[in-house]
Structure 1
Amino acid sequence: MRTFPLLFSLLFIFFIQHHLQAVAELCSTFSCNQHRRDPILFPFWVPDNQTSRCGYPGFGLSCNSAGQTLLPFKPDHLIVQGISYPDQLIWVSDPNHCIPKRVLEFSYSELMPFGYGPYDSAYTFLNCSGPKVDPDQLPGGVSVISCMSGGNYTVVVAFDDVSEAKMRRKCEVVKKVNAAFWWRGMEYGVFPMDMSDVFVQLSWDVPSCVNCMLRGGSCGLVGDSGLEVGCYLPASSGLPKSAKYGLMLGAGIPGFLCIIGLTFYISSRVSARNQNRHYSNTESSPSIFPQPIIITLGLDAPTIESYPKTILGESKRLPKPSDNTCPICLSEYEPKETLRSIPDCNHYFHAECIDEWLRMNATCPLCRNSPQASSALAGS
């Protein structure tokens, strides 16, 4: 009969351990691609792998066989290229490589709970009848959309009113939309030759976790129901309130009184070593919400400085006869200006322009070749 209370105590301890483990796994870190360290965090969640209390309504994601993260949109899902949780921004692309067409089909209701921004702008889509338009012959601020073009017409997009006015002379306006297209180099005024496969930037306002993340915390739903969002700071208990409530309800007051009596009973008959071993197994401090990963882009300063420089005026001629304009700032080269070239492709730029570019991007602005770099990471 002495073994019965001891067995009951061990079963009770096992129940506590199992309950804590279940709570920890309830909202454990999840990623669609196990080879990339990009965990899906609140308010996003994956319904096939997590419970509804791990995310916010309207922020459900899914995974495909290629390890890509998908955002549900009709008729086809969009591919998630990156998420900035502190900025509450998400970048998506089209699996069919025609994101401008998808933007034309979006309605306000389909975008909810997302919106464009914060860098949305007006874009004018135009249809140019006749032979295929050469992208090199288009004025500045106009790009081709090859995925929407045909054999006897070309669809283009104008980025401003001036460019739109130039194209209206020979093209018909299809639609003018506000959207937040995104591509590398747009902050430097560099326009893509083809807009077919750029990204779209979406944002969300609710739920807002910016202040929580600035305090070093992580957002999550409070309790077992409702949409109240709480901030869980690292200094607080490792378990959220919902886990604590579940633990108290699972054990109950009778279980608490029973374990006290059994503890005194066992302490008089079991060695201190076994007692410590049993209770140490019950200690658990799971980390429900890991800290976000900081990813940096671009090349380091020593690598950039290793690329050759040329001072115009020493040889009295440009590196190439056609290279008389900086592709980044679109300004013509002047005597005594310092140029820098990328060794792999031998493209030239103003030294100040390309230095700033390479600190943010590890590719050539013209040919997109990726030179050898010690700190370049693919962030999108």
Structure 2
Amino acid sequence: MDLTKLISFSLLFLSLLIPTTTTTTSTVTCTNAVCRRDGPIIRFPFRLKHQQSHSCGYDKGFDLTCDINAGNRTTITLPFSGNFTVEEIDYAAQEIWINDPNNCLPQRILQLNLNSTPFSGVYMRQFTFFNCPTSEYLRFRPLNPITCLSGKNSTVFATPSPRVINYLSSQSCRLMKTVYVPVRWPFYEQIVSSSDLSDNLWLTWRVPRCSRCEIKGGKCGIKSNSSREIICSHVHKPAIPRRARYAIAVGAGIPGALIVFGLFCFVYSKISSCIKRRRLVPTPEINNAQAHYLHSSVIVMGLDGPTIESYPKIVLGESKRLPKVDDATCAICLSEYEPKETLRTIPQCQHCFHADCIDEWLKLNGTCPVCRNSPEQILPPA
């Protein structure tokens, strides 16, 4: 039996040992809803007010509406902060992305209050707003003005940079307010001088916790109309998890690796004996610095566990939106990313991979599989 048949037989055997199972505990029957074709899907814990029953949502904080005056766009009302357009909902990551329907999000940020909502920022970053004279605009030319807050005689800037804050404070600018802004993930870009803050606000919710259910492909919801218990139903377990498939691939590669290693040892021994017989003239001595350079250029060291775990992980949403728009395939296993898969990012170069793939890779190789840069090489200068 050749190696290919052996691997195929092993996969078939494992699929019989690990059958696909389904959990069928029932929840309240609710159908998905949308406000318009390109709008986000509305399901538990959110509820489309006046169209879905009360038990289809978690509580009033998750009520959504369709704003006819704004092109039938999905809208959420935050107490003390007003109405916001819902751009997208990632149920597996438990994130909702909102923006201002009037296209002046910075103005809404200045009054944003999440205290009476079930939401908090995914990542919070401090921004300081300044109002500067337009007549001196050339001094601040590298900065990005907030157009919707600026006027004929004044220009408004928002910056997270302490250096820029100190500079504007020393000029004829008036400090307006310092606020925390829910920014997008990941935020490993270089420190920006200023921003017009027009990007979506990224919010998350902690209760109800349906992330694991969504990742497993289940349906999260209330158990019954008379109960507020949250359960996960219709969970489909894969026949062979990705980690098992990865282990099989590695295991299948071991025989081939042993053969290559054996051939290498054989050839190396022959070359060594040949060199000894010919008594070649010894090469000039290599000093310690050269030896260290040659040694470090050949040996590839992997990363330790804490370092790998410090790299951020995300659960891919239904939109499959990633920091790099051309990142659609894992460069290690060559499989396209699918919603609800867990990915890990190398912070410095922003390349994404399946978490289990890159974890195994980094244990053996301390470089990015795509750009081949090591963390030490691609860290920004101090």
The secondary structure found in structure 1 opposite 2:62 is coil
- Please tell me whether the aligned partners of residues 160 and 194 of structure 2 are also in contact (alpha carbons under 8 angstroms): no
Q: Distance in 2 between matches of 1:90 and 1:136?
A: 34
**Counterpart in the other structure of 1:128:** 132
**Counterpart in the other structure of 2:178:** 176
Q: Alpha carbons of 1:134 and 1:145: their partners in 2 closer, same or farther (altered >3 Å)?
A: farther
Deviations 1:256-309 (A, max 9, x none): xxxxxxxxxxxxxxxxxxxxxxxxxxxxxxxxxxxx84535624799xxxxxxx
Match of 2:62 among 59, 64, 71: 59
> TM-score, normalising length from structure 1?
0.51
Q: Alpha carbons of 1:211 and 1:64: their partners in 2 closer, same or farther (altered >3 Å)?
A: same
Q: Distance in 2 between matches of 1:61 and 1:46?
A: 5
Q: Alpha carbons of 1:143 and 1:54: their partners in 2 closer, same or farther (altered >3 Å)?
A: same
> CA RMSD, aligned part only?
3.5
Residue 37 (structure 1) shift? 7.3
Q: Distance in 2 between matches of 1:300 and 1:209?
A: 27
**Counterpart in the other structure of 1:72:** 77
Residue 24 (structure 1) shift? 10
Q: Does 1:101 align with 2:126?
A: no
Q: Distance in 2 between matches of 1:93 and 1:161?
A: 26
Residue 191 (structure 1) shift? 4.8
- Please tell me whether the aligned partners of residues 47 and 62 of structure 2 are also in contact (alpha carbons under 8 angstroms): yes
Residue 105 (structure 1) shift? 0.9
- Please tell me whether the aligned partners of residues 31 and 43 of structure 2 are also in contact (alpha carbons under 8 angstroms): no
> TM-score, normalising length from structure 2?
0.51
Q: Alpha carbons of 1:104 and 1:163: their partners in 2 closer, same or farther (altered >3 Å)?
A: same
Q: Alignment length, in residue pairs?
A: 222
Deviations 1:171-229 (A, max 9, x none): 2211111111349x964338597615321111111111112223321210121134321
Identity of aligned residues (%): 29
Q: Alpha carbons of 1:161 and 1:190: their partners in 2 closer, same or farther (altered >3 Å)?
A: closer
Q: Distance in 2 between matches of 1:221 and 1:214?
A: 18
**Counterpart in the other structure of 2:93:** 87
Q: Distance in 1 between matches of 2:82 and 2:106?
A: 14
- Please tell me whether the aligned partners of residues 125 and 175 of structure 1 are also in contact (alpha carbons under 8 angstroms): yes
1:176 is matched by which residue type in structure 2?
Answer: T
The secondary structure found in structure 2 opposite 1:176 is strand
- Please tell me whether the aligned partners of residues 161 and 193 of structure 2 are also in contact (alpha carbons under 8 angstroms): no
The secondary structure found in structure 2 opposite 1:31 is coil
- Please tell me whether the aligned partners of residues 69 and 79 of structure 1 are also in contact (alpha carbons under 8 angstroms): yes
Q: Alpha carbons of 1:299 and 1:235: their partners in 2 closer, same or farther (altered >3 Å)?
A: closer
Residue 165 (structure 1) shift? 0.9
**Counterpart in the other structure of 1:344:** none
- Please tell me whether the aligned partners of residues 97 and 203 of structure 2 are also in contact (alpha carbons under 8 angstroms): yes
Q: Alpha carbons of 1:226 and 1:200: their partners in 2 closer, same or farther (altered >3 Å)?
A: same
Q: Alpha carbons of 1:37 and 1:175: their partners in 2 closer, same or farther (altered >3 Å)?
A: closer
Q: Does 1:137 align with 2:141?
A: yes
Residue 69 (structure 1) shift? 1.0
Q: Distance in 1 between matches of 2:161 and 2:86?
A: 28
Q: Alpha carbons of 1:161 and 1:221: their partners in 2 closer, same or farther (altered >3 Å)?
A: same
Instruction: Give 5+ residue unaligned stretches, structure 1.
Output: 1-22, 237-291, 303-328, 330-350, 353-380
Q: Alpha carbons of 1:123 and 1:24: their partners in 2 closer, same or farther (altered >3 Å)?
A: closer
1:127 is matched by which residue type in structure 2?
Answer: N
2:108 is matched by which residue type in structure 1?
Answer: R
Residue 234 (structure 1) shift? 3.6
- How is 1:242-281 mapped onto 2 (pairs within 5 angstroms)? none
The secondary structure found in structure 1 opposite 2:115 is helix
Deviations 1:9-40 (A, max 9, x none): xxxxxxxxxxxxxx999511111113x37421
Q: Does 1:156 align with 2:181?
A: no
Q: Alpha carbons of 1:207 and 1:135: their partners in 2 closer, same or farther (altered >3 Å)?
A: farther
Residue 123 (structure 1) shift? 0.6
Q: Distance in 2 between matches of 1:124 and 1:62?
A: 33
The secondary structure found in structure 1 opposite 2:75 is strand
Q: Does 1:114 align with 2:119?
A: yes
Q: Distance in 2 between matches of 1:176 and 1:149?
A: 17
- How is 1:19-38 mapped onto 2 (pairs within 5 angstroms)? 26-34=29-37, 36=38, 38=40
**Counterpart in the other structure of 1:39:** 41
Q: Distance in 2 between matches of 1:206 and 1:301?
A: 31
Q: Rg bigger for which structure?
A: 1
2:66 is matched by which residue type in structure 1?
Answer: C
Q: Alpha carbons of 1:25 and 1:300: their partners in 2 closer, same or farther (altered >3 Å)?
A: same
Q: Distance in 2 between matches of 1:135 and 1:77?
A: 36
Q: Alpha carbons of 1:46 and 1:37: their partners in 2 closer, same or farther (altered >3 Å)?
A: closer
- Please tell me whether the aligned partners of residues 81 and 108 of structure 2 are also in contact (alpha carbons under 8 angstroms): no
Residue 147 (structure 1) shift? 1.1
**Counterpart in the other structure of 2:364:** none
- Please tell me whether the aligned partners of residues 159 and 195 of structure 2 are also in contact (alpha carbons under 8 angstroms): no
Q: Does 1:295 align with 2:320?
A: yes
